[in-house]
Amino acid sequence: AYFALQVIYARRKYKISPPETRGHPEFERIFRAQANCSEYFPIFISLLWVAGIFFHQGVAAACGLLYLYTRFKYFQGYAAAAQGRLGPMYASARLLWLLLGLAIAGLLAHFLLS
């Protein structure tokens, strides 16, 4: 919701009415950052859910909080400059891979050790 609100505020600030997605470069970066975060959210939620159920809730929750923080930093970095997104983007990708590993480990343990 925070990211969507930032797009709304940027639309007002730069006078860009929906459905336009072009305009001031800062608006375009904010809009793209929000779209990128929205695109990865279903993957994140799915991995978080499976890792939490089949591996460990606490570990999955910690990874989830770190992921949300890195996405927040990604959004802030991208809004300031396109290069500002790179560090947090790589960190969030590593956390998604970690959640995937936890989910697979949990599923394997559940189905192979049962």
Kindly report, residue by residue over 14-44, the tens digit of the pLDDT: 999 999 999 999 999 999 999 999 999 999 9
Q: Give domain status of residue 107, yes or no.
A: yes
Grouping H, G, I as helix, E, B as strand and the rest as coil, residue 22 is: coil
Residue 61 has pLDDT above 80, yes or no: yes
Residue 79 lies inside a defined structural domain of this protein: yes
Indicate which CATH number applies to the domain containing 5.
Answer: 1.20.120.550
Catalytic residue set = 12, 85
Give the confidence band of 3 by pLDDT, cuts at 50, 70, 90.
very high
Residue 66's identity, in one-letter code, is: L
CB 54 within 8 A of CB 103: yes
Residue 4's CB is within 10 A of a number of other CB atoms, namely 11
| Domain enclosing residue 68, as ranges | 1-13+24-113
- Is residue 66 included in any domain, yes or no? yes
Evaluate whether residue 19 is within a structural domain. no
Residues in the chain: 114
Pick from 8, 56, 59, 63: nearest CA to 30: 8
Residue 106's pLDDT is 97
Residue 98 lies in a domain: yes
Binning pLDDT at 50, 70 and 90, where does residue 69 land?
very high
Q: How many domains, in total, are found in the chain?
A: 1
Q: Is residue 51 part of a domain?
A: yes
pLDDT: which is higher, 114 or 34: 34
Give the model confidence (pLDDT) of 74-100 as tens digits.
999 999 999 999 999 999 999 999 999
For the segment 40-56, the average pLDDT, to the nearest whole number, is 98
pLDDT at 114 exceeding the cut of 80: no
Strand segments, DSSP code E, in 61-101 are none
pLDDT exceeds 80 at position 7: yes
Backbone φ, ψ for residue 16 (5° rounding): -115, 110
Residue 18 in any domain: the answer is no
| Cα angle value 57/101/55 (rounded, 5°) | 25
In this structure, the number of other CB atoms found within 10 A of the CB of residue 79 comes to 21
